[in-house]
Structure 1
Amino acid sequence: MEQMGRSSPEMTPSHSDIEKGDVKHGVCSSQEEMTPENSDNPPSQEEESTIIFKVPHRLREVNENAYEPNVISIGPYHYRKPHLARMEDFKKWWFKKFVEKPHLGLHQFREAIRPLEGKIRNCYERPLHPDLDKDEKIDKEKFVDMMVYDGCFVVQLILEDHQYDWKLGQYISAEIFQDLLLLENQLPFFVLLELYSMINPNPGPRGHFNVLATSALNFSAKIPAPYP
């Protein structure tokens, strides 16, 4: 049956369908075939670096809710949406409980992510939320903090053996995992790797986090839907 806030498999294009079809719209339309008309205007370096796309407008028109997170915003596309505000405080609580250590606090994470801010920003299509898209120091700091809290939340969720957080309950936990699979609710993988190397002092062999992340994705596919 169709889930609330999600369209049925028959109605919702899969991630792969989007990639094969209309993701030419991604990279700010920079992946259109080169023709005599546009060959003199190759995509900019910023456009070529985009790896996290917005859902094309014509697909979103089919079912807006299919691409909208129900519980949690990860990354800039759904930043500060009112219906996701509750989880912003929870991410900070989660950071203090599971991530922060006497020798490893918010300052250290900011220092690690700040040099990557421009590279991370270029992974996303513009425009972003107005609070994040101005070329001012305060807006760059908001962007860095968002990456730290969102990224640490995702990494720690993967490291917690994919268990439900009973403070929120099974229903909310299932919703979180589903939200993390949405096309517009993603972080660059190199950000997760950077944070993982800080959170886990013994990260294991090269590629270990990739295995953990894949395991978490497989686990999320087995979580019962929150709605009948």
Structure 2
Amino acid sequence: MKEIELDSILNINFSKKRWVDQISKNFNEEVGIDVSHVPVCVFNVPKSISRFKPEAYVPQAIALGPYHHFETHLYQMERYKVAVVKAFLNPNQVHSFEPLVIDKLKRAEPLLRACYHKYLDLNGDMLAWIFAIDGLFLLDLFKHYGEMEQFIPKKLMKYETLYRDMMVLENQIPMVILNEIQKIINGDLELLPMMIGYCEVHSPLKLTRDLNSNIGDTNYLHLLDLMYHLIVDNELPRKYYQQESCHEQRANYMHEITRKHHVITNMEDIKEIGQKLGKFKKFGNMVSVIVSIPWEKISDLLGLNIGKKLDKEDGDDLPRVTEIDIPSASSLSKYAYINFKASDGGIRDTKFVASKAVLYLPVITLETYSEVVLRNLVAYEIAIASSTMELAHYVDLMSGIIDTEEDVMLLKSKGIIKGSMTNKEIVDLFNGMNKWNEHARGNRTVKKLNEYYNKQLAIKAWKFIKKRMRGSRKVLTVVFALLACLLMIVYSFCEVYGCPKLFNKVS
């Protein structure tokens, strides 16, 4: 029997004795220390979430915190982190670093461990050193944002990669630890405003405008948690949609006239086609006779196996991305004449107004690291028990309406998608996003869009034809196969015996 691999933080065999020592130490030392008020906020991303793109949930260049600290490809950055920390502290603090910082963090060990979802297979000394170096490095990064070239050579690491790694869920340093370090070194940094400034630069979606009022009212847990709430809490006032300008009203009026014109045109075309088909009175009987023939038995005799699926196709053992059932943006525009409009608000302002045939979407700015940010934000949302899955609903919607580069170009032309990512990269991003909200409440915007789309006359006609032809597809395949065989026989016969009338040959 294969031995079970334990996911140790050091990637070595789990030490049972060390576990007993640690539990015994915690049991004796934590008497009277209440950590129940400290929420778990740094989660280990489960494989059910990371399986489609596991590299998006782990750091590429730098580890922050204990989860990835000792991975070989990340450990080379330790000396640069130490250099940053030494430059951040004054000479006296560097000289007395261990008694000043390490010893105090060791006394706060229960607090440090309480923030992490996964058991940390590290002793107190090691844990204190990790948080001291990584925490101070992060404080300095916020203080000297954009000036890291003096400590970390650009040829060693792209700064986009550093900023990407800072948004990985498993790479978060809890605010309670940063605040503890701030108190130890008597730091005077206005940490939260600096973190908000960082989020404003790197967030793919607009943040709430009411930043100042939110600062005092909310205890943010870490950088990713801060960005998440600033994104989700961004909402326009109720009166915004009631104060539509005359220009917008006229545009909606003209859109409605255009839509009605297209509907009338489609009805006339369908009527004309119906009149033409109606002349062939025997057409329906002919189709019925063809369909009633036992084509499956004939195909079995010919060895064609038409209409039968293999038990296992190539690649079936690989996980498949699933999306919500909704037409693409280009289909919504072409066949249901739905217009897309960039909203000034956030994801809560995503809405479909059927009376205007307008889908309002927030502006999203996509850069090289945006996929990692989006994936980790949603992974964090899923990990929060009290989450309403609002961000997941939005990502599901975007993944559903973006299928091709044509969809991306349409949304870019409306000012909904911005940024440096190419059309193909954006398509790959959203086509690679698995459906998140399987167990959440239904998305009302998606429901309204589908209802409106399915009511269109052209869509009804297409679905009717598709339903009728579904059972006849294999019949037509067999018919064409038989015709091809017959033509090959006739051609071979004529090649030998000659058929001048059929092939226009002169004898």
TM-score for both structures, normalised by structure 1: 0.65
Q: Is the 8 A contact 2:59 2:171 kept in 1?
A: yes
The corresponding residue for 2:171 is: 185
Alignment of 1:160 with 2:160, yes or no, is: no
Task: Report matched runs for 1:115-130 at 5 Å.
Answer: 115-128=107-120, 130=121
- Partner SS state of residue 111, structure 2: helix
Map of 1:52 onto structure 2 = 42
| Residues 99 and 156 in structure 1, CA contact (< 8 A), matched pair in contact too | no
Residue aligning to 2:193: 211
- 1:164, CA displacement in angstroms? 3.6
Query: What corresponds to 2:464 in structure 1?
Result: none
The CA deviation at 1:144 is: 0.3
From 91, 97, 107, the equivalent of 1:106 is 97
Find the counterpart in structure 1 of residue 124 from structure 2. 140
Are residues 1:150 and 2:134 paired? yes
Identity of aligned residues (%): 22
- Greater fraction of residues in helix: 2
Give the secondary structure class of the aligned counterpart of 2:188.
coil
Is residue 93–residue 185 contact of structure 2 (8 Å, CA) maintained in 1?
no
Q: What's the offset of the Cα at 1:49?
A: 3.7
**Structure having the higher Rg:** 2
CA distance in 2, matches of 1:57, 1:90: 31
Query: Residue type of the partner of 1:191?
Result: I
- Rounded to whole Å, the distance in 2 between the matches of 1:198 and 1:165 is 27
Structure 1 residue 198: Cα displacement: 4.4
What is the CA distance between 1:217 and its match in structure 2? Answer: 2.4
Asked whether the 8 Å contact 2:135–2:178 carries over to 1, the reply is: yes
Q: Which amino acid aligns with 1:155?
A: L
Aligned residues: CA RMSD: 2.9
2:78 maps to what in 1?
A: 88
Task: Give how far 1:209 is off.
Answer: 1.6
Report the Cα distance in structure 2 between the residues aligned to 1:156 and 1:92, rounded to whole angstroms.
Answer: 11
Give CA deviations for 1:164-183 in whole Å, capped at 9, x if unaligned: 42542175322111100011
Cα distance in structure 1, aligned partners of 2:124 and 2:139: 22
- Partner AA of 1:179 in structure 2: D
Distance 2:186 2:46 in 1: 37
After superposition, what is the alpha-carbon deviation per residue over 1:108-150, rounded to whole angstroms, capped at 9, x for unaligned? 111332222111112112233x4x1xxxxxx210000000000
Q: Which residue of 2 aligns with 1:225?
A: 368
Instruction: State the structure with bigger RCO (CA 8 A, min sep 6), 1 or 2.
Output: 1
Name the CA distance, whole Å, in 2 between partners of 1:193 and 1:58: 33
CA contact (8 A) 1:162 1:216 kept: no
Q: 1:62 to 1:194 in 2, by over 3 A?
A: same
**1:70 aligned to which of 28, 40, 60:** 60
Task: Check the 8 A contact 1:155/1:195 in 2, yes or no.
Answer: no
Q: Residue 224 of structure 1: CA displacement?
A: 6.0
Aligned residue for 1:165, secondary structure, equals helix
State the alpha-carbon separation in 1 of the partners of residues 90 and 162 from structure 2: 22
CA offset at residue 76 of structure 1? 1.2
State the 1:103 CA deviation: 4.0
Spell out, residue by residue over 1:27-55, the C-alpha distance to the aligned partner (whole angstroms, 9 max, x if none): xxxxxxxxxxxxxxxxxx77x84221111
Q: CA deviation at 1:79?
A: 1.8
| TM-score, normalization by structure 2 | 0.31
Is 93-102 or 143-152 further displaced after alignment?
93-102
Aligned to 1:196: 182
Runs (5+) with no aligned partner, structure 1: 1-44, 133-138
2:162 — aligned with what? 176
Conserved in 1, the CA contact under 8 Å of 2:61 and 2:74?
yes
Q: How many residues align?
A: 172
Unaligned runs of 5+ in 2: 1-34, 205-365, 370-419, 422-507
What is the deviation of 1:215?
0.9
* Matches of 2:91 and 2:367, distance apart in 1: 34
Write the letter of the residue equivalent to 2:147.
Answer: Q
